[in-house]
Amino acid sequence: MSRKTIHDIQAKTGKEKITCLTAYTAPIARLLDQHVDILLVGDSLGMVLYEYENTLPVTLDQMIEHTKSVIKATSDSCVIMDLPFGTYEESKQLALKNALTAIKDTNCAGVKLEGGTLIEETVKYITERGVPVMGHIGLQPQSVIIDGGYKIKGRDKFEWKKYIDDAVALERAGAFSVVLEGMAEPLAEEITKTINIPTIGIGASAKCDGQVLVTEDMLGLTNISPKFVKEYANLRAPIEKAVKQYVSDVKLGKFPEQQHTYQMKPSIVKDNK
């Protein structure tokens, strides 16, 4: 099977829900690849893998190394890489330079940027020069300092215009899809009806064209997860059980067994007699 393209993703809009999960490493990416349309190498890896307080310290180099490993381990899904905080705000030229580096170094299908009307010109500049862009509006984790926390958007109707304008601006700029994060269901529904590119929701209700979750959250591998996360499995328990068994086996001399142990070659044993 060949990799899904951004056009395959767009073709599903309104017909079939689009599925997306995050992947940061080869083992997880390999497991998810056959099942989801999009694998997002999200900058959430800063919090999930590196224990950063937020996503802001994540660097382009980190994103590139993780994306490379996800690409190497997969063959079917459309892989999108987050451009981290500080790599696209300064100028559209810098944004293009970093977006091109992402594409050339990793072979990913596109990059994701947070922001709406404010980055319209940047998104237009990048897409017109050949780099597909996924937008990200609503709750923008890279704005955590300026927002004073992670706040759900659109619960008051007077806020709606800003987010609808953001979505329309991204579509106009050429984004191929847009993540709607942390927003009230009616706003997500309104945006999804207003624009023609697919909306991918996270904490933005079932009214979106598709859904994304952080894989470690839905597998029960993170400590705190927000209300919008459904824990489809709790892998903490089986992992802990296996680790306890290993430690006990090692202490009791039950591991390694003969089947895990190398012996001398028969000829060498003979020569040494």
Q: Could you give phi then psi for residue 58, rounded to 5 degrees?
A: -60, 140
Quick note: the x/- pattern for ligand KIV over 211-230, rule CB under 6 A, is -x-x----------------
Which candidate in 181, 189, 190, 231 is catalytic?
Answer: 181
Distance of CA 88 to the CA centre of its chain: 18
Question: Nearest approach, Cβ of 242 to ligand KIV (angstroms)?
Answer: 27
**Interaction residues for ligand KIV, span 99-158 (CB under 6 A):** 136
Stretch touching ligand KIV by CB under 6 A, among 37-45, 144-152, 155-163, 164-172: 37-45
Annotation marks residue 89 as catalytic: no
Question: Nearest approach, Cβ of 47 to ligand KIV (angstroms)?
Answer: 9
Among residues 5 and 222, whose Cβ is nearest to ligand KIV? 222
Q: Measuring CA to CA, which residue among 168, 83, 92, 85 is closest to residue 133?
A: 83
Q: Give me the amino acid identity at 63.
A: M
Beta strands 210-213 and 133-138: pairing type? unpaired
For residue 267, give both structure tokens: 């000829």
**Considering the rule CB under 6 A, would residue 42 count as an interface residue with ligand KIV?**
yes
Stretch touching ligand KIV by CB under 6 A, among 5-13, 27-35, 36-44, 66-74: 36-44
**Considering the rule CB under 6 A, would residue 82 count as an interface residue with ligand KIV?**
yes
Among residues 158 and 166, whose Cβ is nearest to ligand KIV? 166
Question: Nearest approach, Cβ of 266 to ligand KIV (angstroms)?
Answer: 54
**Considering the rule CB under 6 A, would residue 22 count as an interface residue with ligand KIV?**
yes
Give the CB-nearest residue to ligand KIV: 42
272/9 Cα distance (integer angstroms)? 65
Q: Measuring CA to CA, which residue among 61, 175, 55 is closest to residue 115?
A: 175
Distance of CA 243 to the CA centre of its chain: 28
Alpha helices, DSSP H, located in 56-142: 60-72, 92-106, 120-128
Task: State the DSSP code for 89.
Answer: S
**Considering the rule CB under 6 A, would residue 179 count as an interface residue with ligand KIV?**
yes
Active site residues: 181
